[in-house]
């Protein structure tokens, strides 16, 4: 900064440390809860220091799940979430990069119309079309399937726009040079365009993976079989038991496990994550 102001510097750090603590505190409490035995929650205030039931809580949930809640083992739900997030992320990138390529590198009738059809999806988040979309998926026989979980989510105007924007900044001469070099459209796409888009693809992948992982309402509707539960919606089933029998340690173990993969992705791929987030601008 411009000048030296020790007091202001001190305040700055104080605010930041407070901020970090407030942001982290709920997660800390949840994790602590997961390390205790069920009877730690019967009366008084929730524990704030670690207990000794960590391994027990996590292995119970991972291996067998909660019978009363009707949830399958957590590892299965984690697996489903992973599959779902990966399909959503890959699917979105795949179909969006192809459409952006068509829109930028070709001139053809109905090009503008196609662009607007894609644009419309921005205005139709799954929350406003729940019931009719559910009916479509049901009619196609895709309830309780990975296809039903993911397909209605993978159309992406955002990703298409991002790639379109990026392709417009790729020098025209690159495509022209490749044409001189005897490469047709798909060869150019594969040999040149995809390699120069790698950073953008990965950044988008991080964002879309998280998007796929945190989905809640949609999996809640289309999966009735335990075998297809995702971890995020599985929490809801667990919660249903919370009023009867507060197995807080188990719920919080599940919550911790549900948070872990996407949070790790953000932490370890922070550069890509920030790039993806600030460039997609939702």
Partner 1 sequence: MASITLEGLKKTYSGDVHAVQGIDLTIQDGELVVLVGPSGCGKSTLLRMVAGLETITQGTLKIGHQVVNTLEPAERDIAMVFQNYALYPHMTVYNNLAYGLKNRGFKKEEIKKRVHNAAKILEIDDFLERKPRRLSGGQRQRVAMGRALVRDPKVFLFDEPLSNLDAKLRVQMRVEIKKLQRRLKTTSLYVTHDQLEAMTLGDRLVVLNAGKIEQVGTPMEIYSRPATMFVAGFIGSPAMNMVPLKYIQDIDNKNLSLNLPAPTDTLGIRPDAICLSPPESPHLTIEATLELFEAAGSESHLYIRLANSEQPAVIRTNGQPPQHEGEMLRVYVAHEALHPFDSRTGKRTD
Partner 2 sequence: MQTKRSTYQNRWLPYLLLAPQLIITLVFFIWPASQAVKSSVERTDPFGFKTTFIGLENYAQILADITYLNALGRTAVFSVSVTLLSMGIALLLAVCVNRVLRTSKFYTTLLVWPYAVAPVVAGVLWWFLFNPTIGLIPHLLDWFNINWNHRVSGTQAMILITIAAAWKQVSYNFLFFLAGLQSIPQPLIEAAAIDGAKPFKRFWSIVFPLLSPTTFFLIIININYVMFDTFGVIDATTKGGPNQATMTLVYKIYNDGVVGLNIGSSSAQSVMLMGIVLLLTFIQFRFVERRVNY
- Span 53-92, contacts to partner 2 by CB under 8 A: none
Interface pick for partner 2 out of 84, 88, 118, 250 (rule CB under 8 A): 118
Three-state SS annotation for 213-250: HCCCHHHHHHCCCHHHCCHHHHHHHHHCCCCCCCCHHH
Q: Which does 178 bind (CB under 5 to 8 A by kind): partner 1, partner 2, none?
A: partner 1
Interatomic CA distance for residues 129 and 23, integer angstroms: 33
- Total site size for partner 2, rule CB under 8 A: 109
Contact window for partner 2 (CB under 8 A) among 16-24, 49-57, 68-76, 192-200: 16-24
Q: Which does 274 bind (CB under 5 to 8 A by kind): partner 2, partner 1, none?
A: partner 2
Q: Which does 168 bind (CB under 5 to 8 A by kind): partner 2, partner 1, none?
A: partner 2
Contact window for partner 2 (CB under 8 A) among 58-66, 71-79, 193-201, 262-270: 262-270
Q: Which does 138 bind (CB under 5 to 8 A by kind): partner 1, partner 2, none?
A: none
**Contact indicator for 204, 162 with CB cutoff of 8 Å:** yes
**Contact indicator for 142, 87 with CB cutoff of 8 Å:** no
Contact window for partner 2 (CB under 8 A) among 8-16, 50-58, 62-70, 193-201: 8-16
Interatomic CA distance for residues 41 and 248, integer angstroms: 7
Q: Is 269 exposed, middle or buried (0-12, 13-18, 19+ CB in 10 A)?
A: middle
């Amino acid at each position: 900064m411009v000048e030296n102001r020790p007091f202001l510097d001190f305040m700055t750090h104080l605010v930041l440390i407070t901020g970090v603590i407030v942001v982290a505190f709920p997660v800390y409490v949840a994790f602590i809860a997961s390390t205790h035995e069920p009877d730690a929650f019967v009366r008084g205030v929730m524990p704030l220091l670690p207990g000794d039931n960590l391994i027990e809580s996590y292995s119970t949930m991972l291996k067998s799940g909660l019978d009363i809640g009707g949830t399958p083992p957590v590892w299965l739900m984690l697996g489903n979430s992973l599959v779902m997030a990966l399909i959503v992320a890959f699917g979105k990138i795949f179909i969006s990069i192809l459409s952006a390529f068509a829109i930028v590198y070709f001139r053809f009738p109905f090009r503008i119309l196609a662009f607007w059809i894609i644009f419309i999806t921005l205005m139709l988040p799954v929350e406003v079309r729940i019931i009719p979309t559910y009916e479509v998926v049901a009619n196609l026989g895709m309830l309780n399937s990975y296809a039903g979980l993911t397909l209605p989510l993978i159309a992406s105007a955002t990703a298409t726009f991002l790639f379109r924007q990026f392709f417009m900044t790729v020098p025209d001469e690159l495509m022209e040079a490749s044409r001189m070099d005897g490469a047709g459209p798909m060869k150019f796409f594969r040999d040149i365009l995809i390699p120069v888009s790698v950073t953008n693809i990965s950044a988008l992948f991080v964002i879309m993976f998280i998007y796929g992982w945190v989905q809640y309402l949609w999996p809640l509707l289309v999966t009735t079989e335990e075998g297809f539960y995702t971890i995020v919606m599985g929490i809801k089933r667990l919660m249903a038991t919370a009023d009867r029998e507060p197995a807080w340690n188990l719920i919080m173990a599940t919550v911790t496990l549900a948070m872990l993969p996407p949070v790790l992705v953000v932490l370890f791929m922070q550069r890509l994550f920030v790039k993806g987030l600030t460039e997609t601008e939702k």
